């Protein structure tokens, strides 16, 4: 099986202001892309996990990045490095989804400490990449659980997640 991934982010902004004799305009077109070819080194990856998931009210789950996930072909995934994370919280979610903060064996290389979280608001998009050789380390048994928490006490929350890395 071959693998390649391209992660791209773009932002287009237009700002105008009405002045006495003119209407100045500031236009910004910003785009960056990262290509990950087949392999295990810098600018390389060899496996992607993707899913759309739903958590019950006040629920959390811990995704085991080192063995419990499966790819689109049903093969087990045991990441050793994460090269990119893309997450989207459904606009219909009633509150924030927290990413990170596993009580034990947390995947924390990307946030600094196991207790740290990223708060993804309804309709929010989170993109993280580390295409270098080091990437974000996944350590089986001690640093491989990615906790996702629904902070809404009244309703379910859905999210999309895409993880690309090295096995």
CATH number for position 157: 2.60.120.770
Q: Per-residue DSSP letters for 38-60?
A: ESSSTTEE-EEEEEEEEE-TT-E
Total number of domains in the chain: 1
Contact in structure between 63 and 148 (CB atoms under 8 Å): yes
pLDDT at 103: 85
In a domain, 57, yes or no: yes
* pLDDT tens digits for range 64-123: 999 889 999 999 999 999 999 999 999 999 999 999 989 899 999 999 888 999 999 999
Q: Domain for residue 128, yes or no?
A: yes
The model carries a pTM of 0.94
- Residue 20 within any structural domain of the chain: no
Domain membership of residue 135 as a residue range: 42-166
The verdict on residue 127 lying in a domain is: yes
pLDDT at residue 1 is higher than 90: no
In a domain, 89, yes or no: yes
Residue 19 maps to a domain:
no
Say if 99 falls within a structural domain: yes
Q: Looking at residues 143-150, what average pLDDT do you find?
A: 97
């Amino acid at each position: 099986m071959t693998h390649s991934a391209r992660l791209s982010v773009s932002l287009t902004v237009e700002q105008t202001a009405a002045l006495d004799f003119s209407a100045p305009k500031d236009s910004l077109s910003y785009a960056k892309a990262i290509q990950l070819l087949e392999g295990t080194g810098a600018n390389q990856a060899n496996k992607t996990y993707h899913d759309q998931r739903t958590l019950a009210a006040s629920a959390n789950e811990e995704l085991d990045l080192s063995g419990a996930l499966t790819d689109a072909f049903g093969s087990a995934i045991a990441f050793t490095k994460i090269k990119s994370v893309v997450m989207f919280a459904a606009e219909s979610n009633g509150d924030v989804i927290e990413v990170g903060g596993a009580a034990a064996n947390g995947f924390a290389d990307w946030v600094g400490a196991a207790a740290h979280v990223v708060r993804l608001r309804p309709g929010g998009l989170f993109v993280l990449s580390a295409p270098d050789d080091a990437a974000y380390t996944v350590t089986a048994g001690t640093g491989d659980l990615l906790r996702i928490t629904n902070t809404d006490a009244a309703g379910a929350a859905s999210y999309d997640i895409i993880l690309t890395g090295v096995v």
